[in-house]
Structure 1
C-alpha cells in the first residue's frame, strides 16, 4: 500500500478574521445600542438613514466600525468565491485574502474620494454625501449576510456554490432596496440635477463595474 499525501487546509487565519469581525460588530452593538437596533431593520424600515443622515455622518464611529466589518467580510466572501470557482494552492490562501482586502479597501476609498471631489466641483456636496451614506449603510447591512455565509462556507458547507448564490441574491436584494429608497426619497433633487446624476452614474457607478468585470473576465 502506497502512502497518499493529503493536504489539510489550515483554518487558523480564517478563525482570526471571523473572530475579529465579530468583535468589531459586538463593539458597535455595545457602544451604540440604539443605532444598532435601527441598523438591523434597515431594509424594512429606513429609520436609521433618516435619523443619522446628518453632518459628519460618514465619520461617526458606528459607521466606521460597520464599514470595517463590511470590508473584512466582503474580502473573505470574495476570497471564498475565488477558492470555490478558481481553486488556488492552500499556501497562497492568506496572500490572496490580503490582496483582495487591499483591493477592496483601495477601491472603496478611491471611489468615495472621487464622489466627494465631484460633489465639490459641481456644488452638490449634500446630495453626494446623502448618496454615500445611504449606499454604504445598505452595503454594511448586507455584510451581515456575508458574515453568515462566510461562517457556513468555512465551517459547515465548504465550497458550496448554493450558499454562495443564495448569499449573492440576498446581498443584491438588500442593496437594490437601498437604491430604490434612495431614488424615491431624492427624486426631486435628482430631477433638478439630472445631468449631474447621469454623469455620476456613468463615471462612478457603471464605469468601475465595467473595468472590474473586464479584469475578471480576462
Structure 2
C-alpha cells in the first residue's frame, strides 16, 4: 500500500489560512493588533489589555489558531529534515496539531486551577495573558519562517539553530517581562515560584522531549 503524501499545495493552504486568520484578527481589533505588534519592545499592550481580558477572547482565539497552524508546520518541517522523509500522512499532521493544542490548553487550565487553589487568580490571569500574548506573537513570526523553509531554500541544521535561537529569545523576553512585573511577589514566595517552574514549566518540556525523541 502506497503511503499517502501531502503536496506543497496543502502547506500553501495552511500558510494562507494562517495569514487569513491574522488578517481577521487585525480586522476585528485594528488598534489592539497595532499595539500587539509592538509587544516585544513595549509593555503598553500587556498593561492595557490584561485588564480587559475575558475567559474567551476572539482576538486571542484567532491568533492562537494561527499559532497551532504555524507550530504544526514547523514541527512537520523538522520531522521531514531529521528523518530525511519526503512523505507524511495527513493523520500525522492532524495528530501534531491536536497534540500541540491539547498540550497548551491543559497546561493553561492547570495553571488556572493552581491559581484558584492558592487564591492568586488575578496574578495568574495576568501571567497567563502575558505568556499567551508572546506565544501568539511567535505564531506570527513563524509564518514567514515556514514559508522560507518550505519554498525558498533547503533547510539546514544551521538555519534550524538560528530559528530556535530567535524563538528562544522571544520566550526569554516574555519570561523576563513576567518576572519584572511580579518581582516583589516572587521575592517573598521564591520557594513556590521554583516549585511552579519545576512542575509546570520544566517537567512538561522534559516529558514532551522524552515522548517525541526515541531512545
TM-score normalised by L of structure 1? 0.89
The runs of 5 or more residues in structure 2 that have no matched partner are: none
For the pair 1:185 / 2:181, whether they are aligned, the reply is: yes
Q: 1:44 to 1:55 in 2, by over 3 A?
A: closer
C-alpha distance in 2, partners of 1:55/1:118? 22
> Where do 1:15-26 residues align within 5 Å?
15-26=12-23
C-alpha offsets along residues 9-38 of structure 1, whole Å, 9 cap, x if unaligned?
621211111111110000111121111111
The runs of 5 or more residues in structure 1 that have no matched partner are: 1-7
2:90 to 66, 71, 94: 94
C-alpha distance in 2, partners of 1:191/1:172? 25
For the pair 1:209 / 2:205, whether they are aligned, the reply is: yes
C-alpha distance in 2, partners of 1:207/1:183? 19
Any runs of at least 4 consecutive aligned residues in structure 1 with deviations exceeding 6 A, and if so which? none
1:84 alignment partner in structure 2? 81
Does the CA contact (< 8 Å) of 2:6 and 2:90 recur in 1? no
Does the CA contact (< 8 Å) of 1:138 and 1:178 recur in 2? yes
1:198 alignment partner in structure 2? 194
Larger Cα-atom Rg: 1
1:58: Cα distance to partner?
5.3
For the pair 1:125 / 2:121, whether they are aligned, the reply is: yes
Q: 1:160 to 1:144 in 2, by over 3 A?
A: farther
Q: Which one scores higher on RCO, CA 8 angstroms, separation ≥ 6? A: 2
Q: 1:93 to 1:148 in 2, by over 3 A?
A: farther
1:4 alignment partner in structure 2? none
1:100: Cα distance to partner?
0.9
Does the CA contact (< 8 Å) of 1:71 and 1:105 recur in 2? yes
